[in-house]
Amino acid sequence: MVAAAKPIHDHEHDHEHDHARERRMAWAKTAILIGLGLYFAYNIISGNLSNYINLRFGWLSYVAAALFFLLGGFSAYTLLRSRGEHAHDHEHGDHLHSAPSWGMIAVVAAPLVLGTLVPSRPLGAEAVGGIALNAAASQVSTGSVTMFTINPENRNVLDWLRVFNQTDDYGTLNNQPVDIIGFVYREPDFGADQFMTARFTISCCVADANAIGLPVVWADTASLPQGEWVHVRGTMQEGEFRGEPTALVHANSVEIIEAPQNPYLYP
């Protein structure tokens, strides 16, 4: 007995179903590409870019936004053009063979979804895993020769740590004026009147961020919330912190402020 042939209309129906599925995936890919372009553009325009990368590499984000818009636009153009050729494709059995799988689309979409749903914010006290009292050797080597030529009141946290690494006698720093900005960081073994004015340094992006800080003596330390940004003014004095000789900022004033537009320091 000869088996009955599969009806032609069933084959055509399967072909049509596959073609529609491939087009949906291709449109999803297009939407993600354009969405990524919009995400990069939003971070550039809003100023949030500084929460993620060293701004000297900001041009890469401009390139990325342009490429995503270009790829998304070309993909949309190809799909719209192919719509008019659908009958021809159906007749010859052509498909959008470049359409990705749903799994691949999900992987590419994940960063876009997370970036959209998770608010952009700089690293703070909750991201500190053991704060450094001294700048790393790689950081000190950059510009360390000129550290003592910077007026003390113009030094930031990183500048001061470089000065610490270049002196053997903290007493030489006594009474030098200090004017720094950072976030409040405390651990249980700090003195009751001690906290650290902390910052993160990044070389490229937040993935290589390092926490640094200057110890501060302030009578009202207990009133300062962990992680709040503060403007500290005072003088440097030789002393001890966590049982180690160092120099500490004896604050004359500590003012709670908004996080700066550029929250990171760059070695």
In DSSP terms, 265 is beta-bridged to 201
What pLDDT sits at residue 197?
A: 95
User: For residue 86, what are the CA distances in angstroms to 62, 90, 92, 141?
Assistant: 36, 6, 10, 64
Q: Give 10-residue mean pLDDT values along the chain (267 residues).
A: 51 56 80 88 85 83 91 87 60 51 74 76 79 50 58 92 89 96 93 93 85 94 95 96 92 95 87
Q: Where does residue 249 rank: exposed (0-12), middle (13-18), buried (19+ CB within 10 A)?
A: buried
Rounded to two decimals, the pTM is 0.68
Give dist(CA 33, CA 27) in Å, integer. 10
Q: Where are the beta strands (DSSP E) in the chain?
A: 177-185, 194-201, 210-217, 229-241, 244-257, 264-265
Tokens 């912190």: give the residue: 241
What pLDDT sits at residue 92?
A: 47
CB atoms within 10 A of CB 145: 10
**In sequence order, which ranges of 84-166 are alpha helices (DSSP H)?**
86-92, 102-117, 137-140, 157-165
CB atoms within 10 A of CB 236: 23
Assign 3-state DSSP to the chain and report helix, strand, coil percentages, each to 5: 50, 20, 30
Show the tokens assigned to 75.
């993909």
What pLDDT sits at residue 217?
A: 97
Pick from 10, 19, 21: which is nearest to 86 by CA?
Answer: 19
What pLDDT sits at residue 87?
A: 47
